[in-house]
C-alpha cells in the first residue's frame, strides 16, 4: 500500500547578516587583562562582530530575512508568520518581529518574538514545524538576531570575550511529500531551577529599572562559567541522543552536526560523547564568537551557502541557552 503524502516543513532558504566591525582578541588585549592565546585556548574564538550605532536586532534580522527570502525564491507578502528569536529586542514592546514585518513588507504575516536565548532558534523552528505540519501556515520565516554587545560588561573578561552580534534566518515551507524530508522532529526542554547560571538579572516588570541596578551592571550578562559548561555538554548530548533515537538514527547516519556556537571546547566535548567526527561538525565560532540565538541560523546559512550541506543530507542541530533551555532538531536537507 502506497504511503499517502503528508505536509513536511522544509527549509527552503537561509540567510545571514554580520556587522562590518570586527573586534579581535588583540583588540581586547588593549582593553582587558587577557590575551589572544588565553581566549583562543579556552574558547576557540579569534574575533567577533560588533553592531554599529544605527544597527539593532530588527535591522540585522531584516537583512538576514531578505537574503533567506531570496534564497527560497519567496516574496515577503507570501509569508504567513514571522518568529524572531532574540534576547536583545529593540524595545520591550512592540516585538522585534513586528519591526521586521514592517521593514521587509510582509504585511499579512503574524509576527512575534520568542525568548529562549541561545536555544531560541531551535524553539522557533519547533514552533514553525508544528504550524506547518498541522496545515495552519504554509510559509514561515524564522530568525535569530542578537546585539549582545549592548548587554555586556566590557570590564568583565569572563563574559565580554565570548559574545558577538549578528543575525541568521530561514524560510520554512509546507510541502506535500511521500518521502522523508524537511524537519523530521524537534525536541525542546527547559529547567527554571537553573535560571541563575546564565542571566541578565536586572528587573523590568519585577522591580522596574533603577539607577542602582544600572550602576551595579545588573542589565549585563552574568554567567557561572563552569556550571554552564557542564550543563551545556550534558543536556546537548542527551537531547541529541533522544532526537537520533526518535528517528531511528545513529551518529553515523548524520552528515552534519550544527551545534550552538558557544565555546569550541563545549562543541568538542559534545562531539566526543556522541562519537561524532570533527570533520562533520560545522564550526564557525572562531569568526563570530557566541551570537546567542543567531549562532545556529548563521552556521546553517554558511554551511548551506558554501555548498557543504547538500540536498538529502541529514543534519542534527543541538544547543543550550539561559533558562535553562535546550533542544535538538533533525532535518533532511
Q: What is the pLDDT of residue 204?
A: 93
Structural domain that includes position 137: 6-177
Q: What is the pLDDT of residue 178?
A: 84
Q: Are residues 102 and 199 in the same domain?
A: no
Q: Are residues 243 and 290 in the same domain?
A: yes
Q: Are residues 12 and 147 in the same domain?
A: yes
pLDDT over 80 at 3, yes or no? no
Q: Are residues 168 and 200 in the same domain?
A: no
- The catalytic site residues sit at 118, 260, 290
DSSP 148-191: GGGG--TT-HHHHTTB-EEEEEEEEEEEEESS--EEEEEEEEE-
- Among residues 177, 194, 229, the one where a domain terminates is 177
Q: Give the mean model confidence (pLDDT) for residues 101-108.
A: 97
User: Would residue 118 count as lying in a domain?
Assistant: yes
User: Would residue 1 count as lying in a domain?
Assistant: no
pLDDT-derived band at 80 (thresholds 50, 70, 90) equals very high
Can you tell me the distance from the alpha carbon of 70 to that of 235, in angstroms, rounded to the nearest whole number? Answer: 35
pLDDT averaged over every residue in the chain: 97
Q: Give the mean model confidence (pLDDT) for residues 264-290.
A: 98
Q: Are residues 61 and 173 in the same domain?
A: yes
pLDDT over 60 at 23, yes or no? yes
User: Would residue 258 count as lying in a domain?
Assistant: yes
Q: Is 115 exposed, middle or buried (0-12, 13-18, 19+ CB in 10 A)?
A: middle
Q: Give the mean model confidence (pLDDT) for residues 169-175.
A: 98
User: Would residue 96 count as lying in a domain?
Assistant: yes
Q: Are residues 147 and 224 in the same domain?
A: no
Asked if 8 and 127 touch (Cβ cutoff 8 Å), the reply is no
- Among residues 145, 177, 209, the one where a domain terminates is 177
pLDDT over 90 at 184, yes or no? yes
pLDDT over 50 at 1, yes or no? no
Q: Give the mean model confidence (pLDDT) for residues 174-178.
A: 92
* Chain centroid, CA 304 distance in Å: 15
Q: Are residues 144 and 200 in the same domain?
A: no
Residue 301, C-alpha cell as written in the block: 546559512
User: Would residue 193 count as lying in a domain?
Assistant: yes
Q: Are residues 132 and 209 in the same domain?
A: no
- Strands (DSSP E) contained in 245-300 are 256-259
The CATH number given to whatever domain includes residue 162 is 3.40.47.10
Q: Are residues 115 and 191 in the same domain?
A: no
Q: Are residues 124 and 200 in the same domain?
A: no
Q: Give the mean model confidence (pLDDT) for residues 107-125.
A: 98
User: Would residue 300 count as lying in a domain?
Assistant: yes
Choice among 126-130, 175-179, 193-197, 264-268 with the minimum mean pLDDT: 175-179
Residue 30, C-alpha cell as written in the block: 588593549
Q: What is the pLDDT of residue 179?
A: 87
pLDDT-derived band at 41 (thresholds 50, 70, 90) equals very high
Asked if 172 and 10 touch (Cβ cutoff 8 Å), the reply is yes
- Among residues 155, 177, 199, the one where a domain terminates is 177
Q: Give the mean model confidence (pLDDT) for residues 98-107.
A: 98
- Percent of the chain predicted with pLDDT > 90: 97
Q: Are residues 194 and 289 in the same domain?
A: yes
pLDDT digits (tens, 9 = 90+) for 119-161: 999 999 999 999 999 999 999 999 999 999 999 999 999 999 9
> pTM here?
0.97
User: Would residue 215 count as lying in a domain?
Assistant: yes
Work out how many domains the chain is built from and give that number: 2
pLDDT-derived band at 4 (thresholds 50, 70, 90) equals low
Q: Are residues 81 and 136 in the same domain?
A: yes
Asked if 76 and 67 touch (Cβ cutoff 8 Å), the reply is no
Q: Give the mean model confidence (pLDDT) for residues 59-83.
A: 98
Q: Give the mean model confidence (pLDDT) for residues 314-322.
A: 98
pLDDT digits (tens, 9 = 90+) for 201-217: 999 999 999 999 999 99
Amino acid at each position: 500500500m502506497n504511503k499517502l503524502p503528508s505536509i513536511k516543513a522544509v527549509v527552503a532558504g537561509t540567510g545571514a547578516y554580520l556587522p562590518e566591525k570586527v573586534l579581535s582578541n588583540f583588540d581586547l588585549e588593549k582593553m582587558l587583562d587577557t590575551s589572544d592565546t588565553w581566549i583562543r585556548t579556552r574558547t576557540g574564538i579569534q574575533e567577533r562582530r560588533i553592531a554599529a550605532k544605527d544597527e539593532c536586532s530588527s535591522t540585522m534580522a531584516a537583512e538576514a530575512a531578505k537574503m533567506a527570502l531570496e534564497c527560497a525564491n519567496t516574496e515577503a507578502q507570501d509569508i504567513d508568520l514571522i518568529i524572531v528569536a532574540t534576547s536583545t529586542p529593540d524595545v520591550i514592546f512592540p516585538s522585534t518581529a513586528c519591526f521586521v514585518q514592517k521593514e521587509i513588507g510582509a504585511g499579512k504575516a503574524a509576527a512575534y518574538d520568542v525568548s529562549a536565548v541561545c536555544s531560541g532558534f531551535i524553539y522557533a523552528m519547533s514552533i514553525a514545524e508544528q504550524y506547518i505540519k498541522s496545515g495552519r501556515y504554509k510559509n514561515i520565516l524564522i530568525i535569530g538576531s542578537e546585539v549582545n554587545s549592548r548587554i555586556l560588561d566590557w570590564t568583565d573578561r569572563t563574559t565580554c570575550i565570548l559574545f558577538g552580534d549578528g543575525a541568521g534566518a530561514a524560510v520554512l515551507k509546507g510541502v506535500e511529500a511521500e518521502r522523508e524530508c524537511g524537519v523530521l522532529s524537534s525536541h525542546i526542554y527547559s529547567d527554571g531551577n537553573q535560571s541563575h547560571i546564565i542571566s541578565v538579572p536586572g528587573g523590568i516588570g519585577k522591580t522596574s529599572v533603577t539607577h542602582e541596578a544600572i550602576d551595579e551592571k545588573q542589565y549585563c550578562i552574568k554567567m557561572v562559567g563552569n556550571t554552564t559548561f557542564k550543563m551545556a555538554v550534558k543536556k546537548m548530548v542527551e537531547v541529541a541522543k533522544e532526537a537520533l533515537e526518535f528517528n531511528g538514527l545513529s551518529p553515523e547516519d548524520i552528515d552534519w552536526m550544527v551545534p550552538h556556537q558557544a565555546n569550541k571546547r563545549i562543541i568538542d566535548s559534545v562531539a566526543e560523547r556522541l562519537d561524532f567526527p570533527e570533520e562533520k561538525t560545522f564550526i564557525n565560532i572562531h569568526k563570530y564568537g557566541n551570537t546567542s540565538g543567531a549562532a545556529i541560523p548563521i552556521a546553517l546559512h554558511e554551511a548551506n551557502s558554501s555548498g557543504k550541506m547538500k540536498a538529502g543530507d541529514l543534519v542534527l542541530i543541538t544547543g543550550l541557552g539561559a533558562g535553562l533551555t535546550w533542544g535538538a532538531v533533525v532535518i533532511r536537507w
